[in-house]
Amino acid sequence: MSSKLWELLDELKSPAYEWVDLSHPVNEETPHYAGYNKLEMTEVFTYDEHTVCASEYKMGSQYGTHIDPPSHFVEGGRTLDQITVKETVLPLCVIDLTEKVAEDVDYAITVEDLTAWEENYGRFPDDCFVAVRTDWSKRKGEDFFAPDEAGQPHYPGWSLEALKFLSEERTITAVGHETPDTDPAIANLIVPWQGERYLLEQDKYQIEMLCNLDQLPATGAIIACSFPNVLDAPGYTARCIAVYQK
């Protein structure tokens, strides 16, 4: 028995392709928004007592690598279960801003960064996922939020203008980043969550706290994002993978 899809899958799993996990493992130490408690795990059944193993987990909806659907900021916006399955598998474009972020941890991604990428690799394809590589995911513990002496966090993010460019002048489906927020931390002192609110108002979704973007090419990869089909949920921990041809 033969199948075009099975043959395609065999090819994708061949040594000619690389598969990369873009999600942080989930445990008590996983980076997460400061407003949430650490993950709590309770053993419900154990091998010794019940001959099976099962647990209950308690964590915030935006914990570790996670998806933000429109309803995270938009009342009446699409919830997690309303993200269609076709929207979860997309062409992946990766913008490398590691050098700029190394010089300025408060860096905001600009329209010029996006057009410079297009000059090298061509126009962003329709219905794509645009991820920004900063290597921020390599930071651990308190350094992930990089607070100053006054306790103010510092990390890079998107400028509102860059998000408007992708949403209004291009036809993207989603964006992603390694940091805990869409906007640079210091931008939230002026207008809290301005970029994130705008993006979700455009009926896009985003994945936050991605990792291993340094293992991907700038263009040519495919991203697949999976998460529980929780009714009416404003977000949830996600498992994202990327596949690219070596």
- In the chain, the domains with their CATH numbers are 18-245 (3.50.30.50)
- pLDDT tens digits, the chain, 246 residues: what are they? 679 999 999 999 999 999 999 999 999 999 888 889 999 999 999 999 999 999 999 999 999 999 999 999 999 999 999 999 999 999 999 999 999 999 999 999 999 999 999 999 999 999 999 999 999 999 998 999 999 999 999 999 999 999 999 999 999 999 999 999 999 999 988 899 999 999 999 999 999 999 999 999 999 999 999 999 999 999 999 999 999 999
- φ/ψ of 203, rounded to 5, equals 65, 30
Quote the pTM value.
Answer: 0.96
Which secondary-structure segment (H or E) carries 111?
helix 111-121
Report the SS3 class of residue 32: strand
Tell me the β-bridge partners of 58: 40
Say if strands 205-208 and 66-68 run parallel, antiparallel, or are unpaired: antiparallel
E strand residue ranges, 98-226: 108-109, 128-133, 157-158, 172-177, 205-208, 221-226
- Could you give the CA distance from residue 67 to residue 204 in angstroms, rounded to a whole number? 11
- φ/ψ of 219, rounded to 5, equals -145, 160
Q: Which residues contact 49 (CB under 8 A, 6 or more apart)?
A: none
Say if strands 172-177 and 157-158 run parallel, antiparallel, or are unpaired: unpaired
Give the pLDDT of residue 2.
75
End-to-end CA distance of the chain: 29
Give the pLDDT of residue 33.
84
